């Protein structure tokens, strides 16, 4: 029997040195994801109204995995979604690894896995149905130094490793496969997130096939909220966002404007650097 946990305290410590009291687990991840500044320097700001009434300001981002800051934000959001999905769907969960056929190495391994995954997925779904369960899964790729890929799948289908090996091979993939039970939902989500971050930092990311998702969930997975449902609203540019934050504070609202304060500090440092350069002095004070 899988032990499903939200790991609120553990993840609060992991993501926030100055643990924010009074926030739900998902609200904490929302706050942490809003603190990094996108390298593409989007000028649009947003604010989020949380369940506890906290209003958090953040900067709009490009959301691309090639952007280091956005890759971290994307990963944090996926951690939240995976844990939320496992908790809400309930039941027993497993972590599976499936490799490509031995004749399909390097980048071709991804072609092999993508072409045959639907066959294995259908077989797993039939096994799940036998026990009265509708199959649900999260699938992510792992890339190796030799250019080969294999996939990891969080799923709720109670098959053993031998079944997975035999059926993966029959579906045209590799015989090297494994499945273990999941003890903790947060641990499983963090494990998947590790591969997502690893891939986002990999130089070979640029050769990732167009249309191949880095992470994929089943159609019945818990839906992720859109911005309107999450309580996100546009605040315009930096000056407008500052004005809104001041107005909200004047009305007694609890506001987290760390993103605005960081942006203000960044602009001041940029202004000071320009003024120093204009006066003919370097950063060390030498002409």
List per-residue pLDDT tens for the chain, 287 residues long.
Answer: 232 333 333 333 233 333 444 555 555 555 554 455 566 655 678 788 877 788 888 777 777 777 777 777 777 778 888 888 888 898 999 999 999 999 998 889 999 999 999 999 999 999 999 999 999 999 998 887 788 899 999 999 999 999 999 999 999 999 999 999 987 777 777 777 777 766 665 544 445 666 677 889 999 998 865 444 456 778 878 888 899 999 999 999 999 888 788 888 888 887 777 777 766 655 444 44
Measure CA 63 to chain center.
Answer: 10
Which has the closest alpha carbon to 176: 97, 106, 105?
97
Q: CB under 8 Å to 255, separation ≥6 — which residues? A: 54, 55, 56, 57, 245, 248, 249
**Domain CATH for 174:** 3.30.70.1910
Residue 115 lies in a domain: yes
93 and 148 share one domain: yes
Instruction: Domain of residue 42: give its range.
Output: 19-62+237-267
Indicate whether 43 and 91 sit together in one domain.
no
The CA distance from 37 to 164, in Å, is 42
Q: And the tokens for 272?
A: 């000071």
Q: Are residues 99 and 211 in the same domain?
A: yes
Residues 93 and 180 placed together within one structural domain of the fold: yes
- Is 35 inside any structural domain? yes
Cβ 45 vs Cβ 58: under 8 Å? yes
238, two tokens: 């930096």
Q: Say if residue 105 is in the same domain as residue 167.
A: yes
Residue 14: count other Cβ atoms within 10 Å of its Cβ. Answer: 13
Q: Indicate whether 283 belongs to any domain.
A: no
Q: Is the distance from CB of 259 to CB of 46 less than 8 angstroms?
A: no
């Amino acid at each position: 029997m899988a032990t499903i946990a939200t790991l609120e305290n553990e993840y609060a410590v992991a993501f926030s040195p100055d643990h924010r009291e009074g926030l739900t687990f998902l609200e904490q991840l929302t706050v942490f994801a809003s603190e990094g500044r996108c390298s593409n320097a989007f000028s649009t700001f947003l604010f989020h109204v949380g369940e506890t009434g906290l209003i958090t300001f953040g900067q709009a981002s490009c959301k691309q995995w090639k952007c280091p800051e956005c890759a971290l934000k994307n990963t944090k959001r996926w951690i939240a979604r995976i844990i939320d999905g496992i908790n809400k769907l309930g039941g027993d969960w497993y972590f599976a690894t499936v490799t490509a056929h031995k004749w399909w190495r390097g980048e071709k391994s991804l072609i092999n896995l993508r072409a045959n995954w639907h066959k294995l997925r259908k077989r797993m779904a039939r096994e799940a149905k036998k026990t009265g369960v509708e199959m649900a899964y999260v699938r992510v790729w792992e890339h190796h130094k030799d250019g080969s890929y294999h996939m990891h799948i969080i799923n709720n289908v109670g098959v053993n490793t031998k079944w997975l090996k035999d059926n993966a091979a029959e579906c045209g993939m590799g015989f090297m496969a494994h499945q273990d039970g999941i003890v903790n939902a947060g641990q499983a989500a963090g494990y998947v997130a590790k591969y997502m971050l690893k891939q986002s930092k990999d130089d070979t990311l640029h050769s990732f096939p167009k249309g191949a998702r880095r992470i994929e969930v089943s159609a019945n997975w818990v839906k992720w909220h859109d911005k309107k449902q999450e309580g996100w609203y546009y605040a315009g540019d930096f000056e407008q966002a500052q004005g809104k934050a001041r107005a909200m504070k004047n009305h007694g609202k609890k506001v987290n404007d760390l993103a605005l304060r960081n942006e203000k500090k960044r602009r001041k440092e940029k202004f000071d650097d320009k003024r120093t350069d204009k006066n003919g002095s370097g950063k060390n004070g030498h002409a």
